[in-house]
Amino acid sequence: MAPLLSSDRRLNRGYVIAAVDRVPLRQKIGYGLGTFIDMWGHWLYANIAFQVFGLFLGVAPALIGVAVILNRVFDAVSDPVFGWLSDNARTRIGRRRPFMFVGAVLSGLGLPFLVAVTAGWGSSTVFGCEVSHYFWFMIVSSALYLPVVSCFNMPYQSLGNELTPDYHERTSVFSYKNTVQKIPEAGLFLAGLFFTREVWVGATPDNALERLKLLFTTGGAWADAPDGAQPNMLLGAQVYLVICGAIIIVAGLLCASLVRERYYEKLVAANKQKAGIKETLVQAFHCRPFRIQVAMQLAYNLGLSMVNALGFAVTAYYVCGGNLSEANKYNFAMGFAYMVIGFFGIPVFAAVSRRLGKRQSLVCVYAFAIMVFVATWWLYTPHVKWLQILASGLISFCSAGFWTLSASIGADVIDYDELQSGRRREGAFAACGSWVNKLGMALGAGVSFFILGWVGFDRGLGGAQAGHTIFMIRFLLAAIPIAGLVAGIMALVRFPLTQHKMMEVRAQLEARRGKV
C-alpha cells in the first residue's frame, strides 16, 4: 500500500496523452448527455416526493422514507440483470448501445407515470395502522419504472469505463460528463419552484394546458403563490415530469448515437464465453480495490443523502420561517449555484489530479468538504438568507470533484481486474457499484425522513417548529456528512491503485493482449 500523501508529481512532468488515447470532444459531450436519464430517472422522484406526496397529499414522512428505500430493492434486481446482459450481449452495433436506445425511450415515456395519481385517495388498515393508498402507488410505480432506467443506465455506466485506456484521459472523460450533468442537476432544484408558482393556484387537469401556456407567456405566472393559497403541486409535478420525460428521450438517443464502444471489436466481440450472473457479481466483489472504492462511495453517499430532507427543512422552516414558496425560490437559486459553482469544481480537481494523482486529489476533496459542512452552521441563517445559496454551491464544488475522480478510479479498477481475471466485466462492476451507491443514497434519503420525525418535526406547525427541533436539524445537517467524510478518508487510506501502479498494469495488459 502506497503512502496516502505520496505524490505522483514527477510522473506527470512532461506527461502527454497519446493522440490514439484521446476521446473526441463529440463523444465526451455525447456521453455526458446520458446523465439526464441517471439524474431524472433515479433522483427527480426522490427529490419531489416529500413535497408532492408529503406536504400536498398528506402521506406521513416515515412512509415516504420507506418508499424511497424500497426503490433500491428493485434496483437490487434490475441493475445486476442489465449489467450482466450488456456484458454478454453481442450485436452489430455493440453490447451497450442497443440497451441504451431502448432504455432511453422507455425511461422518458415512463417518468410521468410516477405521479399519475389524483387527489382524495383514501387509506387502508394494515396491522392496525392506517396506510395511505398513495404509499402503495409509490411502491408499485417504482417497481415498474426503475428496471426501465436500469436498461439504459447500466450499459451507459459500463461504457464510460471503456472509452479510453489512458489514466488522465479517463479523468477528462468524466469531467465532461459531470459538466453536462450540472444541467439535469439544476432541474432537480427547479422542480419545487415550478410547481409552487401562483399559476398552479386553482389549477385543475381541465385547465392544465392553459396554465402551462401562461408560464411561457406571462411573467406573473411565475410569482410566488399568495400567502394562505395552496398551489396544486400534484398537477404542477405531473406537467413537469412530462416535460422532463421528453427531454430524457432526446438526450438518451443522442448519447447512444454519439458514443462508440472502443473495447468491443478488439477484446469482446470474438469472445463468445458467457458467465452466470451470480458468478459474475460475486467475482466483482472479490476485487479488493473495488471493495475499497465502493466503501468510499457508500460513506460519501450515506453522509450527504441522509441530510436531503434536513436541508430543505432548514431552508423552509428555519431560514424562510415556513414560507414554502419563498423556500422553493431559494431552493432553485441553490440549484443554480449547485450547477455553476459545481461546474468550477470539475476543472479544479481535474487539474489537481493531473498534478498530484487521483488519490491525493481525493484527499483535497474530503478536506475541503469537511470545512464546508462545518460552515453550514453559519451559512444557513434567516439573518442573511442568501448565504445558503453559497453553501449549496460549495457542497457541489466538492461533490463534482469527488464523483469525477471516483468514476475515473473505477475505470482503473476494471483494468486491474482484467489483469487478474483476463476478462472485461464493466457491466458487473457498474451494476455492483451503482446498486451499492444507490442503496446508500436511498437509505440516507429514507432515513432523513425518519430523522425529521425523531427530532419532532410537525408539518402542521409550519414555521413555528419547536426550538429543539430546529437546533437538531441544523446540527445534524453538518454532523452527519462530516461523519461520512471521515469514514471515506479511512477507506481511501487503503486504496492501492496509484498512478505508478496503473502504468504498470497497462503495460502488462498491452503486452498480453495488445493495445486498444
CA distances from 99 to 91, 103, 160, 230, 443 (A): 11, 6, 15, 42, 28
Q: What is the pLDDT of residue 87?
A: 82
Tell whether the model's pLDDT for residue 349 goes beyond 80. yes
Short-list 98, 437, 80, CA closest to 280: 80
How far apart CA 448 and CA 69 sit, in angstroms, is 11
Least confident of 118-122, 270-274, 430-434, 451-455: 270-274
Q: What is the pLDDT of residue 137?
A: 92
* Beta carbons of 46 and 68 less than 8 angstroms apart: yes
CA distances from 474 to 133, 310, 334, 380, 478 (A): 33, 8, 17, 8, 7
pTM above 0.85, yes or no: no
* Beta carbons of 409 and 270 less than 8 angstroms apart: no
Tell whether the model's pLDDT for residue 244 goes beyond 90. yes
Tell whether the model's pLDDT for residue 152 goes beyond 50. yes
* SS3 of residue 165 by DSSP: coil
CA distances from 492 to 9, 26, 349 (A): 19, 33, 16
How far apart CA 274 and CA 506 sit, in angstroms, is 25
Q: 178-187, 243-252, 280-289, 507-516: which has the highest mean pLDDT?
A: 243-252
Q: What is the pLDDT of residue 269?
A: 56
- Please, which pLDDT band fits residue 428 given cuts at 50, 70 and 90? confident
Least confident of 178-187, 244-253, 462-471: 462-471
Q: What is the pLDDT of residue 271?
A: 62
Q: What is the pLDDT of residue 5?
A: 47
Tell whether the model's pLDDT for residue 503 goes beyond 80. yes
Tell whether the model's pLDDT for residue 223 goes beyond 80. yes
DSSP code of 221?
G
Q: What is the pLDDT of residue 459?
A: 63
Q: What is the pLDDT of residue 450?
A: 75
Span 239-252, mean pLDDT?
95
Single-letter code of the amino acid located at 386: W
- Please, which pLDDT band fits residue 378 given cuts at 50, 70 and 90? very high
Over pLDDT 90: what percentage of the chain?
Answer: 28
* SS3 of residue 378 by DSSP: helix
Cell 457498474: give the residue. 430
How far apart CA 126 and CA 66 sit, in angstroms, is 15
- Please, which pLDDT band fits residue 278 given cuts at 50, 70 and 90? low
Print burial letters for 441-456: b (CB count within 10 Å at least 16), e (below 16).
Answer: bbbbbbbbbbbbeebe
Q: What is the pLDDT of residue 30?
A: 95
Per-residue pLDDT of 20-46, as tens digits, reads 889 999 999 999 999 999 899 988 887
Over pLDDT 70: what percentage of the chain?
Answer: 90
Mean pLDDT of the chain: 84
Tell whether the model's pLDDT for residue 352 goes beyond 50. yes
Tell whether the model's pLDDT for residue 172 goes beyond 70. yes
* SS3 of residue 445 by DSSP: helix
How far apart CA 138 and CA 60 sit, in angstroms, is 13
Span 55-82, mean pLDDT?
79
Calculate ∠ Cα 418-415-400, nearest 5°: 145
Short-list 327, 309, 328, 308, CA closest to 318: 327
How far apart CA 388 and CA 336 sit, in angstroms, is 12
Tell whether the model's pLDDT for residue 465 goes beyond 90. no
Q: What is the pLDDT of residue 277?
A: 66
Least confident of 384-398, 449-463, 478-492: 449-463
Which residues fall within 8 angstroms of residue 282, CB to CB, at 6 or more apart?
A: none
Tell whether the model's pLDDT for residue 58 goes beyond 80. yes
Tell me the CA end-to-end span of the chain in Å, nearest whole number. 29
Span 202-220, mean pLDDT?
86
Least confident of 72-81, 221-230, 267-276: 267-276
Per-residue pLDDT of 89-117, as tens digits, reads 888 888 889 999 999 999 999 999 999 99
Tell whether the model's pLDDT for residue 449 goes beyond 80. no
Q: What is the pLDDT of residue 153?
A: 92
Backbone φ and ψ for 127, nearest 5 degrees, come out as: 50, 40
Q: What is the pLDDT of residue 286?
A: 83
